[in-house]
């Protein structure tokens, strides 16, 4: 994991170039476990001291546990996959097998999952890394890029509360000055229901209904006075 700072730098540059994100990055959990495992791993690789396999396994377990606690981070599952590959080969062999500098096959006979050991040379430097390291470094760069991109979130729109209050007050004053009836027009006059509604003599101009006509026909007519006989 000596190349971890380079992966972080590449991820930070990628996050600065990308468009700003819309959400804040989530808080990192178990940060002390991650930092402790990373410090132990870097110390083992930088010093080159032949340490017991249990100490290297402790560093790998701490890194993997801290990564699993932050799987919600974009890129963290990729980091966990690479760390799990390194831990598997370490647990099976007691150490991470390494290819000789001159090339060729692994020196130790009976090595299990030797393809996951330190067999990938880094161009330009005298360094061998594993496939698990490459996967973990790729995920670390992705985590860093998304964290930087999220911190550069888009500016939120500013709401002018003073302007909103002034606009609301102006609308209230306009509604208070409005006349309740004449501002919306006058309702049309109703259509008369009969011809006698506006008549000067409603009893004479009232329409004759069928029921009134039948009652008038059934009523007895008054007796006529007898005509006077001419003398």
Do residues 21 and 149 make contact, with C-beta atoms less than 8 angstroms apart? yes
Q: What is the pLDDT of residue 157?
A: 57
Residue 229: pLDDT band (50, 70, 90) is very low
What is the rounded average pLDDT of the residues 206-225?
55
What does the block give as tokens for 212?
């009134």
Q: What is the pLDDT of residue 18?
A: 83
What does the block give as tokens for 205?
């101009």
Environment class of 185 (CB within 10 Å of its CB; exposed 0-12, middle 13-18, buried 19+)? exposed
What is the rounded average pLDDT of the residues 207-231?
53
What does the block give as tokens for 59?
């560093």
d(CA 84, CA 78): 10
Comparing 7-16, 158-167, 174-183, the range with the smallest average pLDDT is: 174-183
Residue 173: pLDDT band (50, 70, 90) is confident
Residue 227: pLDDT band (50, 70, 90) is very low
94 closest CA partner among 39, 48, 132, 56: 56
d(CA 155, CA 56): 45
Q: What is the pLDDT of residues 51-107, one digit of tens each?
A: 656 788 889 999 999 999 999 999 999 999 999 999 999 888 887 887 765 555 555
Do residues 79 and 136 make contact, with C-beta atoms less than 8 angstroms apart? yes
Comparing 7-16, 48-57, 130-139, the range with the smallest average pLDDT is: 48-57
Q: Select the more confidently predicted residue: 209 or 131.
A: 131
136 closest CA partner among 85, 89, 97: 85
What is the rounded average pLDDT of the residues 194-217?
54
What does the block give as tokens for 171?
């609308």
């Amino acid at each position: 994991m000596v190349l971890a700072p380079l992966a972080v730098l590449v991820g930070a540059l990628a996050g600065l170039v990308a468009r700003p994100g819309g959400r804040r990055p989530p808080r990192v959990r178990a940060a002390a476990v991650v930092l402790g495992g990373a410090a132990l791993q870097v110390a083992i690789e930088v010093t080159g001291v032949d340490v017991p396999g249990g100490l290297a396994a402790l560093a790998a377990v701490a890194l993997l546990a801290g990564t699993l606690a932050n799987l919600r981070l974009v890129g963290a599952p990729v980091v966990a996959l690479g760390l799990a590959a390194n831990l598997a080969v370490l647990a099976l062999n007691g150490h991470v097998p390494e290819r000789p500098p001159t090339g060729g096959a692994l020196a130790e006979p009976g090595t299990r999952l030797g393809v996951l050991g330190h067999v990938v040379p880094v161009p330009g430097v005298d360094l061998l890394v594993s496939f698990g390291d490459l996967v973990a470094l790729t995920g670390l760069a992705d985590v860093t890029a998304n964290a930087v991109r999220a911190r550069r979130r888009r500016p939120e729109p500013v709401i002018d509360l003073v302007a909103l209050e002034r606009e609301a007050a102006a609308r209230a004053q306009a509604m208070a000055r409005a006349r309740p009836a004449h501002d919306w027009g006058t309702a049309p006059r109703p259509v008369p229901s009969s011809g006698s509604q506006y008549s000067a003599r409603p009893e004479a101009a009232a329409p004759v209904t069928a029921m009134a006509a039948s009652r008038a026909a059934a009523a007895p007519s008054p007796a006529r006075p007898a005509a006077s006989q001419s003398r």
